[in-house]
Each structure stands twice: as structure tokens, then as C-alpha cells.
Homo-oligomer: A and B are copies of this chain.
Amino acid sequence: MFHLHLQEDSQAPFYLQLYAQLQDQIREGKLLYGSRLPSVRALQTHFNISKTPIETAYQMLIAEGYIVSRPRSGLFVMNELQQSIASGDDTATRELISPDNMPPLPIQPKPIIDFRASRVDAAAFPLRLWRRSLQESLESHALDLGAYGDPQGEYSFRATIADYLQRSRGVHCAPEQIVIGSGIRYAASLLARLLGDAGTLACEDPGFAPFPDYFRKWGLNVLPLPARHIAARIGNTDAGAVYLTPSHQFPTGSILSYGDRERLLQWAYSRNAYIIEDDYDGEFRYSGKPIPSLQSLDRAGRVIYIGTFSKAFSPALRLNYLVLPEQLASRLKTERLPLDAPSRIDQWAMARFIEQGHWFRHIRRMRSLYGKKHDRLLERIREYFGEHAAVTGQGAGLHIQVSVKTNRSAADLVKLAADQGVAVYDLEGMLADSGGSGAADPVIYLGFAGLTEKQIDDGVRLLRRAWETALQE
């Protein structure tokens, strides 16, 4: 009856045996997309074991996207990999391992097209080259594997980044000013300490919440200002630092004008304040000249620059960096701030990847790939929505902003889209303190980097269907 068996005498614990067997069967297509899995209780009775290993195995499979749990109906195989295989009439070949012998529910799984802005194109990841970089750096640094590295980051990696930033983003800095970290939270935690006495942190509204959240969690003062007017307004506040995304404002996508850049710098010079420039997707600009960083305009050491490998490479790597003005960099040592750079192996590998020229080639390739997806998305929106939608924030980065002409709320639009199997995003979870954008149309954010052109086509078509009635109202 079952295609599962547990061995008492195995090295592997029960949860792992169950997990591995179910995973295999899903991968190999023996358990088809949409199949119902036996309940925890049923397996418990069958195998006469405690429920912990069964629950653990199921949780693992859920976390990895092999199965989904539907309240009141059970657990179903829902592997994205198989989605493409699963065609209309597959009930014949759909195998059942349900011990309670229930027939498979006739679920019609919706394709899930996710316009999440933080996804990047996994298929374009340079798997072979990265594997080789890892391998070579492991080999050439084999003798260093027994020791801790520089907590600020490997010096040679910092030198490589300093050179890269100078060439591609106009950032001037020495390796001593660079701190290698594991993401924006690491950067926020360090800056919260370095700027703890700078008083209030101003930030963009709407904006990327995790950064100011961190300051707030440590009891520091945070002041959201309307993103579009931040340069004009900041002079009237008591802020001693400001966090912003000048190259492609998150999430609205607007670009900080040259005038506003100068205004912000003047403010920082006159107040001895700091500007934190989060250049998270600065590598991607599809039309016009690339915009140099704010840091490149700074003549007094008032700009802190943050870059990441999460957009141009992979968010799974957890690798980013901070460029501190010299004065702040020198405080790292004197105040013995608690630094701890991520894996030395990854740092060596990335330094090698850049030094061998792979990085520049990769960026060029990704820019062209994402440029195509960007254009495709804009085309489709024009085609399916015409006057009903207005796109802004395009031309750079990995997401756009769309205002939809309807009197429904953005939250309603998100829900309607979800019912058609399309995930889109509003300001939920973002920083948006100073109250909505007034009487304007609801605004939706669409990331395109993680989708294929076909998924972009299907996604926009389904959005039109999902919002059809909303557009009429």
C-alpha cells in the first residue's frame, strides 16, 4: 500500500528517511503535482512511531516548496518544478499514497506567478564559474581554513571591491574604509552603533523598512519623510543622518535628481550629518547613462555607501559591503566595534570571480537579460491595460511601480490577483508612516527579475483578468 518504508537499523533517523523518500518520489515524478499525502496521524498509526519525525519531515518538505498544506483539506504535492509537467488530465497517472484511501481531491492548482521584487533570475546564475571559483579558492587557501580572518573582511577582497566601485560606481575609497558584511541587517547593526550619537535617523516614506526598523529596535529615533521631498524637507528636521536609495528609490523607483543630491550634500556638510546611500540595485540601468553614486560627489566624507551581491548575483549568498568615510572607519578599531565578516571561502571566491573578469561579464549579461524582461513587462502592461494603468519607476533596477485606475484599494488588487494565482505587492510591510499618497490611484509593485518572459506575459494577462471588474467600477 505504501511506497514508504522505515528502517530501524539505518544510520539515518526516521524523519530523514521519510523526507528523503518523499523528496525522491516527488522529484522523480512518482508522486505527481496535486497528489494528497497521508495525514500525520495516518502515518503514525501505520509505522507505529511518534509523530515528531513525521511532522519534521513534512515541515522540511513544506519549507522547501515540495508540498503545501491546505487548511482542512490536507497536504498536497505542489512542487514548482513539476508544475510545468502537470498537464490537464493527469489524474490517471496520479499516484495515491493516502492510507485512508481517500480519492485525490480534484484540485486545480493555479500557476503561481510571483512578481516579488527581491527575486532574481536563478537560471542565469553562473553556476559553473562560481563552483570553480569556490573550488579554486578552497584549494589555494587550504592552509587558511584553520584560522579566523580579518573581522572587517579579507583585505584582498576589500581591495578588489574598492577597485570595482571606483570603476563602475565612481565610489572613491581605500580598502581600509570597506567593511564586508552579510546583508543590510548587518550594516544597520553596525551603523546603529557608529551613528548612535548622531541623533535622529531620517528615512524615506515609502521606503525599505528593515534598515530604520533596526535603529528603532535599539531605541534610536527614526523620522520618515516623504521620499519625493526628502532633500527639501530634511533641513527643517533635527536629523543627524538620513538613509536613502538614490539610484532607484525603493519602492517607487524614482531617481534622486542632481539638484537634490547637491542639496543633501550641502545639508550634510553644514550639519556634520551622514548620508547613508543604499545602492542596492545601482548596477541596473537600462536607458541613458548610468548614474554615478552620491558617494562620488561627496567632498567631505559625509556619505556612507552600502552595496550588495543580492541583486546582481544571488540573495542566497548573504554578502554585502559598506564603505565608510575615513573618519568613521578609524572608529572601527578605536571603539573595538563587534565586526564579524561572513565566510572567508565566499570572500576569496568572490574576489577571484571579480579579478578574473567574470564579474564584469556577468553584470553585462544580467543587464541585458533584465533589460529585456523590463521592456517586456512594460509592453505587456501597455497592451493589456492601456489607459487603465500608469507605470513609473521604470528604466532601472529590478521592479516598477504601477498605479491602477480604479477606486478599489491596493490591498483589494493584491487579493484579486492572488485569486488568479498571481502574487503582486502593495506597501504592506514597507515603511509608510506619513499616511497614504493622498487621493491618488492605488499603487502596486511588480518585480520582474525572477520571472521568465513567458511568465511575465501570463502574469500580466492574468492580472488584467483579475482586475477586470475593478477597472469598470
Main secondary structure of the interface of A (DSSP, over half): helix
Q: How large is the interface on A (under 10, 10 to 19, 20 to 34, 35 or more residues)?
A: 35 or more
CB pair A16 B340 closer than 8 Å: no
| Interface residue? A156 (CB, 8 A) | yes
Which residues in B have their C-beta under 8 angstroms from that of A59? 155, 159, 175
Chain A residues 312 to 351 lying within 8 A of chain B, measured CB to CB, are 314-319, 336-346
Which residues in B have their C-beta under 8 angstroms from that of A175? 56, 59-60
CB pair B163 A145 closer than 8 Å: no
Give the residue of B182, B210, B310 whose beta carbon is less than 8 angstroms from that of A342: B182
Give the residue of B118, B127, B337, B343 whose beta carbon is less than 8 angstroms from that of A317: B343
| Interface residue? A119 (CB, 8 A) | yes
| Interface residue? A170 (CB, 8 A) | no
| Interface residue? A363 (CB, 8 A) | no
Which residues in B have their C-beta under 8 angstroms from that of A163? 13, 15-16
Q: Please give the distance in Å from A84's CB to the nearest CB on chain B.
A: 12
CB pair A125 B147 closer than 8 Å: no
Give the residue of B11, B156, B338, B449 whose beta carbon is less than 8 angstroms from that of A185: B338
| Interface residue? A160 (CB, 8 A) | yes
CB pair A147 B450 closer than 8 Å: yes
Give the residue of B146, B154, B188 whose beta carbon is less than 8 angstroms from that of A315: B146
Q: Which of A128-136, A229-237, A267-275 contacts B (4 or more CB under 8 A)?
A: A128-136
CB nearest to A20 among chain B residues? B355
Chain A residues 119 to 160 lying within 8 A of chain B, measured CB to CB, are 119-123, 125, 127, 130-131, 134-135, 138-139, 141-150, 154-156, 159-160
| Interface residue? A357 (CB, 8 A) | yes
Tell me, in angstroms, the Cα distance from A449 to B147 when the chains sit together: 11
Which residues in B have their C-beta under 8 angstroms from that of A49? none
CB pair A147 B159 closer than 8 Å: no
| Interface residue? A4 (CB, 8 A) | no
| Interface residue? A186 (CB, 8 A) | yes
Tell me, in angstroms, the Cα distance from A125 to B80 when the chains sit together: 37
Tell me, in angstroms, the Cα distance from A319 to B175 when the chains sit together: 25
CB pair A138 B131 closer than 8 Å: yes
Q: Which of A135, A146, A315 has the most CB of B within 10 A?
A: A146
CB pair B182 A357 closer than 8 Å: no
Tell me, in angstroms, the Cα distance from A284 to B139 when the chains sit together: 27
User: Lowest 3 CB-CB distances: which A-B pairs, in order?
Assistant: A122-B146, A63-B155, A316-B344
12 A-B Cβ contacts within 8 A? A12-B355, A15-B159, A64-B155, A118-B147, A122-B142, A127-B142, A146-B449, A148-B310, A185-B340, A210-B338, A318-B342, A342-B342
